[in-house]
Amino acid sequence: MKTICFFNSTEAWGGGEKWHLDASTHLHALGYPVLVIAHIKGELYNRVLNSGIQCIGTRVTNLSFLNFLKIRSIEKILERTNVGTIVMNLSRDLKLAGLASKWAGIERIIYRRGSAIPIKNSWLNRYYFNHIVSEILANSHATKKTVLAHNPHLFPEDKIHVIYNGINIDSFLGKATQTRYQREDADELVLSNLGRLEFQKNQKFLIDLAVELKRRKLKFKMVIGGEGRLREALLSRAKKLHVEQQIVLAGFIENPKDLICSGDIFVLSSLWEGFGYVLAEAALCEKPIIAFDCSSNPEVVIDGITGFLTAVDDIKAFADKVQYLAEHPKQREEMGQRGFAFARENFDNEIIQKEIVNYLVHGR
């Protein structure tokens, strides 16, 4: 069998890198030939390096696809390692490694799309999706939909396959939990949120939500986990709007359970998600969820059953749902239980990895 190559040049660690690590590790354990090409100083490279998986370090910039020698060097690596299938996550990787793969005569050139943002209808994208990419692997139906949002003829829809991100549920549940927030009063409602402090995650909305909940005289804390460029701006906004006593910025969270299990309700204010890992993790912690009815959220949260979905940035509707759950603890418990069952059935990594093997190895 020919080698399956995972190409990811991101130096940082995130959902895409975790997917590449999990998929390559699983395929390797089953005895399939696997190659990982990753940023030589990146976290993915470091984690794969001592795993027994064949791993090659590289560096890629947004303009690497214009470097003929760089393309040729990747082409030679792919030929030397007998690659028959390649999976790439980033646009810049597609431009470089996709072209090198085409030159190397690789049959399956797969672009894995992990973000529910429409692909630009540029001449360069039209060229790559018409002449280079053989298949697209999306992490949600919402992500699949955005591929063709700006151009319905960009790529054949029947060649866009959906496989959700998987969670190692037993490992996740087996981790010890350390409380990241100690409630001040027994009747204090704790809302938890976890994500990078960046525009996409939209924690500014949560500050404004706190203003509305305070106006309604709810006794609550909003505990926000994560770090990012907007930390100081969020603190400044909380002070300006006089809700700094209700807001806790908990910083970087190593184990998501530590934060999620410290709260009563998990709230997500993201403007888009390719696949909401943290929503599935909140469900596994048996917490009811309130999020926006956008991107892939309805695929992870069943509105009215495992949580609530509201219109994007609708403060009143969101606050109404928080107040309802605050006043109905039994409903919180039941939603959490139903969310756990739904996540276990649909996002178990063992099931997902079987789908990935079927897709990458058997082509179905």
CATH superfamily to which 171-346 belongs = Glycogen Phosphorylase B; (3.40.50.2000)
The tens digit of pLDDT for each residue in 303-345 reads: 999 999 999 999 999 999 999 999 999 999 999 999 999 999 9
What is the per-residue pLDDT for 279? 96
CA 51 from centroid of its chain's CA atoms: 24
Task: Show contacts of 26-30: CB within 8 Å, 24+ apart.
Answer: 26/353, 26/356, 26/357, 27/356, 27/357, 27/360, 27/361, 28/52, 28/53, 30/357
Q: Can you give the pTM of this predicted structure?
A: 0.86
C-alpha of 350 from chain center = 18
Q: At CA 259, angle to CA 257 and CA 261, rounded to 5?
A: 60
| Fold of domain 3-166+348-360 | Rossmann fold (3.40.50)
Q: Where are the domains of the chain?
A: 3-166+348-360, 171-346
| CA distances to 113, 122, 362 from 161, in Å | 10, 23, 14
Tokens of 251: 């910083």
- Is there a shared CATH topology between the 3-166+348-360 domain and the 171-346 domain? yes
Q: Interior CA angle at 362 toward 358 and 364, to 5°?
A: 65
Contact status, residue 349 vs residue 168, Cβ threshold 8 Å: yes
pLDDT at residue 122, as a whole number:
96
Residue 333: both structure tokens together: 């418990």
Instruction: For residue range 273-313, list pLDDT tens digits in order.
Output: 988 889 999 999 999 999 999 999 999 999 999 999 999 99
pLDDT at position 50:
83
Residue in the structure block whose two tokens are 């409380």: 179
Residue ranges in the chain modelled with pLDDT below 50? none
Token pair belonging to 343: 């996540």
